[in-house]
A and B are shown apart, each in its own frame.
Chain A
C-alpha cells in the first residue's frame, strides 16, 4: 500500500552562526512523512530534534539558516521561504506547533478566549461573534469544563494541564495538516501527560492530521507513534516503524537509548545510561558522530561516516555494523527480550491512561 507523502525532506542541512563561527547542527537529513501518520522523532537533548522541526515552520533562531536541501510540502519548498510574509498562509494555518511548556506558551495578559479567537479571526477571517462561538466549541473539544464561563478567564486561572489543552485548542483552530508537538508533555505530571497524549490521539483521529512528535521519552513513543526516527548529532541514525525500532533496532545508539529506559530497569540493577555527551558541533564531526560513546565502535567509525543501510522496506539504519564485512555483534541483554518488557510497560501505561482518563478535571 503506497501512502501519500505529505512532507519530503531531502538532504537538509542547517547551520548556525555563532561568534563568527559556522556550526552545522543538522547534517544532511532525508526523511519522508506520510499523511495521517504519527512520526516520533527521538534523541537526546542537543541532537537537533527541535531545530530540525523548526525548519518546517521557518522558526529557526535569527542566526540559524538552511544551508542545503529542500523540504517539499504540497508543492512548496519550505526551505526557500525566507520572509515572514511567505509563511503567513502556512505557519499556524497548515502546519501548527505546540511547545513544551504550557505554563509560558500563553500570553499572561490576554484572556484564553481572546487568544483562541485571535487565530480564528486571522486565519479564517471570522467575525468576533463567530470566532467566540467557534472558540467555545474548541474549548469543549479539548474538554475544558464550563467552556462558556472559562472563555473569559486568564491563563493564570488555568492549571498546567488545562493550559496545554488550550494550546492544543489553538493549534486545532486552523485545522492544520501537520501538527508538530515539541515535547508537549515534558512539563506535565504523569497522569496529566497521559490525558494530553490521549487527547492528541483522539483529535488526530477526528481531524486526520499528521503528527510529528518530538520527545526523548521512549515510553511516549511506544504509546503514540506509528513510525520513529532516531536522531543523533544532527542526523537521523535510524528510522522505521515502532516495531522496527523497539524489536529489531540495528543502531547502537538506539540500543543505548532503549537500554536506558528507566521503566525497563529492574530494581536490583543500577539504571543504565549512555556515557559521555552528545557532540557540540563546534568542530567538524569526522566519521560516525556516536563513535566515541559507542562500545561497539570499529576503527572505520572514526574515519568515515556510515551510509544509510536499508534493512527492510520501512526500516533503515546508519551504522557500519550493517555492512556485510562487519563482525556480528550481540545486542545488549537488557533489550533482547524487549518485546515482553515493552508489553509490560505499555500495559502499565495504558492502565495509567485509563486511570488518568477518569479524572478529567485536574
Chain B
C-alpha cells in the first residue's frame, strides 16, 4: 500500500511541477514575480524538460522497434528454449504449452491489433505508475468461513509492487530475483559499473594529461610515443586488442584473469583493458584541440600581454580545448553503468553487457527489452548532462529557446 501512495504522490508532483513550469514560462501565472520567473522559467530547466520530453518519444520508438525486431524470431525456436523435453512431447501438448509461453512473453498473436496491444501493454508496464506483479506460485493457503470451517485453498504467488515494471525473466538462473528490474539494477549493473568507473578514471586521468603533454611538446619524444600508441589502437580492430591487452595484463604482468566480485585485484585487468583503450581517443582529441587553440589570435595576444607560457597553456588554451570534449564526460561516466560486452565476456564479468548476450541467446525477451529501455534512458540523461556541462563552461552556449 505504501508503495502505491509514494508512487502516486511522486507522479502527481512531477505532473504538477511540469504544468507549473509551463504556466510560469508562458507568463500565464506569476507574470510579475521576478524571483519565481527566474527560478521556474530558467532556460536550463525549460531546456531540460523539453529535452526529456522529446527523448521520451525516442525511447518509445526504440521500444517499438526492438519489440518488432524480437517478433522476427521464430516462435518455435523461442518455445523450444522454454519448454523442457520438447522433443519427447506430443505435438498438441507442445502447441498448447507454446501458446502459454508466448502469452507469458507477450508475443502471442499475429494480427495488427494484437501486436499493437502488446506494445501498448509494455508501455503501460514501464510507465511510472505503481503496479503489482507476481512471478510464480509459491504455495497454497487455506480459506476459512466465518465459523472457521475450511472452505477451499487458494494459490499464493510471489508478488511485488513496482513503480516501473520491466517484466519477468522466466529463464533467470543464478540470480536472486526473477524481476528484470531487480536483475539489472540490483545485480548486473553493479558489476559493470565497478569495472566501468575504474576504466573511466584511468581514461581521464591518463588521457587528458597525455594529450596536454603531447601538444606541449609537439614532435617531441612523448608526442611520438603517444602518436604511435594512438595509431596502433585505432588501427587494430577492437576485439583483437582486447585480447592483446589480456595477453599483456594477465599472462605477462600477471593480473587475475577471472573476475571475482569480492576481490578488488581481479577488477583491474578488465578495467585497465577498457581504460587504456579509451584513453587513446581522449589523448588524440585533447592534443588536437590544444594545437588548434595554440595558433589562435588570443594566444598571440596573451603572449603579447606578457603572460608566461605555462599560464597561457594551462589557463587559456586548456580551457578552450576542453570545451568540445567536456560534453563526452557525463556520457562516459554514465556509459560505465552499461558495461562492454566484449570485455565482460573475456574476463567473465557477470555485468550488463554479459547479460545482454545471455538474454539474446536464451530468448529472454523481457530481459532484452529491459536492457534496451535502461540503456536508452541512461543515454538521454548522459546527453542532457553533457549539454548542461557544456553550457556551464562555455558562456557562448545558451540553452534558451530563442
Residues of A within 8 A of B (CB): 57, 59, 84, 87-88, 90-93, 96-99, 101, 104-111, 118-119, 122-123, 154, 156, 167, 170, 174
Contacts and interface: CB of A to CB of B under 8 A. Distances in A.
19 contacts: A84-B308, A88-B308, A91-B303, A92-B304, A92-B305, A97-B304, A98-B301, A98-B304, A99-B301, A105-B298, A106-B298, A106-B301, A107-B316, A107-B319, A108-B298, A109-B323, A109-B393, A110-B316, A111-B395
A108 B293 CA distance: 11
A33 to B, nearest CB: 18
B87 interface: no
Contacts of B11: none
A94 to B, nearest CB: 9
A88 B311 CA distance: 12
Given A107-B316, A108-B396, A167 B307 contact: no
Contact of A104 (B298, B311, B395): B298
B324 to A, nearest CB: 12
Interface in B294-314: 296-298, 300-309, 311
A104 B304 contact: no
B304 A119 contact: no
A361 B306 CA distance: 30
Interface in B302-350: 302-309, 311, 316, 319-320, 323
B320 A93 contact: no
A99 B395 CA distance: 24
B394 interface: yes
A104 B297 contact: yes
A98 B296 CA distance: 15
A98 B303 CA distance: 11
Nearest to B320: A109
A8 B395 CA distance: 44
A93 B296 contact: no
Given A99-B297, A154-B395, A154-B396, A107 B303 contact: no
Nearest to A119: B305
In this complex, the member of B296, B302, B309, B396 whose beta carbon has the largest number of chain A beta carbons within 10 angstroms is B302
B120 to A, nearest CB: 48
A156 B309 contact: no
B395 A118 contact: no
Nearest to A94: B306
Contacts of B320: 107-109
8 residue pairs, one from A and one from B, having the closest CB atoms: A92-B306, A104-B297, A97-B304, A105-B301, A92-B305, A154-B395, A107-B298, A91-B306
B108 to A, nearest CB: 58
Given A91-B306, A118-B305, 14 more contacts: A59-B303, A59-B304, A92-B305, A98-B301, A98-B304, A99-B301, A108-B320, A108-B395, A111-B395, A119-B305, A122-B307, A122-B308, A123-B306, A154-B395
Nearest to A156: B396
B306 A88 contact: yes
B305 to A, nearest CB: 4
A107 B302 contact: yes
B297 A105 contact: yes
Nearest to B300: A99
